[in-house]
């Protein structure tokens, strides 16, 4: 318990790659494949075989059999590692276009959207992607009674911190933050911030630097 260092988790880059393995493996499973070798797997994913081997080692204990990976078993192992076997009780706050898009997408493993909340009375009672929209006044009660673990924040930035403070007080363990604001939370609570402008920066910088490489020469 005392060595709950932030490092014990494993390699973040590998963890972020796991969903792609999962998707690919599910495709193999659909095709009826039972065994997949790291070499063929790596070709499909366009990653190096060694990357595949290393990444898969963090989800399943090394085995002595050296005859490819079991498709179904590896799917299970990844889901277990990510805690996606039993989707966590999740709510979404802020049913704007972005929030709606997430609710309708509906294919996120690992989260179980129990309800969504919005301050606009006009949205009350709507059902988006099979998830009903409730008024903010019901938030505290809902979070407490359903032991909500993850809250997806798709509100305007202004109210993000205030809502976060409430959520944390009521027991939410993690916030998936799609607002433009950085959130402060106590230890033991996680914020996963998705920042689209980071991706855009990467994109435009690459375009520019591949084209005119006319650096400031002075």
Partner DNA sequence: TAGATTGTTAATCGATTAACAATC
Helix (H, G, I), strand (E, B) or coil at 63: coil
What minimum distance in Å lies between the beta carbon of 137 and a second copy? 25
Answer yes or no whether residue 11 interacts with DNA by CB under 7 A.
yes
What minimum distance in Å lies between the beta carbon of 22 and DNA? 17
- Alpha-carbon gap, residue 140 to 161, rounded angstroms: 16
Gyration radius of the chain's alpha carbons: 21
Helical H runs in the chain? 12-31, 38-45, 49-59, 71-81, 97-105, 139-146, 160-169, 196-210
Nearer to a second copy, 65 or 105 (CB): 105
Which of the residues 14 through 73 are near DNA (CB under 7 A)? 14, 37-41, 48-51, 53-54, 56-57, 62-69
Binding mask 127-166 for a second copy (x = CB under 8 A): ----------------------xx----------------
The stretch among 35-43, 90-98, 112-120, 161-169 that binds a second copy (CB under 8 A) is: 90-98
For the chain, helix, strand, coil in percent to 5 are 45, 15, 35
- Alpha-carbon gap, residue 103 to 217, rounded angstroms: 49
Which of the residues 106 through 135 are near DNA (CB under 7 A)? none
- Alpha-carbon gap, residue 145 to 170, rounded angstroms: 10
Answer yes or no whether residue 5 interacts with a second copy by CB under 8 A.
no
Answer yes or no whether residue 122 interacts with a second copy by CB under 8 A.
no
Please check whether residue 204 is in contact with residue 212, taking contact to mean a CB–CB distance below 8 angstroms: no
The residues that touch a second copy, with contacts defined as CB under 8 A, are 4, 8-10, 12, 15-20, 23, 46, 61, 81-84, 88, 96-98, 100-101, 104-105, 107-111, 149-150, 173-174, 176, 180, 182, 188, 190, 192, 194-211, 213, 216, 218
């Amino acid at each position: 318990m005392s060595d709950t260092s932030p490092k014990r988790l494993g390699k973040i880059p590998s963890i972020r790659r796991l969903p792609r393995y999962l998707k690919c493996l599910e495709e193999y499973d659909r095709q009826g494949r039972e065994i997949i070798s790291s070499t063929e797997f790596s070709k499909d994913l366009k990653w190096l075989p060694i990357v595949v081997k290393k990444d898969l080692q963090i989800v399943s204990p090394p085995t002595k059999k050296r005859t490819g990976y079991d498709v179904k078993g590896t799917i299970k192992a990844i889901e277990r590692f990510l805690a996606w076997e039993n989707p966590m009780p999740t709510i979404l706050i802020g049913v704007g276009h972005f929030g709606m898009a997430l609710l309708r997408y509906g294919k996120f493993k690992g989260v179980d959207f129990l309800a969504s909340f919005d301050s606009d009375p006009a949205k009350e009672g709507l059902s988006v992607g099979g998830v009903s929209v409730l008024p903010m006044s019901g938030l505290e009660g809902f979070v407490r009674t359903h032991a909500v673990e993850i809250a997806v924040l798709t509100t305007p930035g202004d109210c993000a911190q205030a809502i976060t403070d409430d959520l944390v007080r009521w027991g939410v363990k993690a916030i998936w933050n799609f607002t433009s604001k950085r959130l402060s939370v106590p230890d033991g609570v996680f914020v996963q911030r998705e920042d689209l402008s980071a991706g855009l920066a990467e994109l435009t910088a690459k375009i520019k630097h591949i084209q005119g490489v006319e650096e400031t020469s002075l």
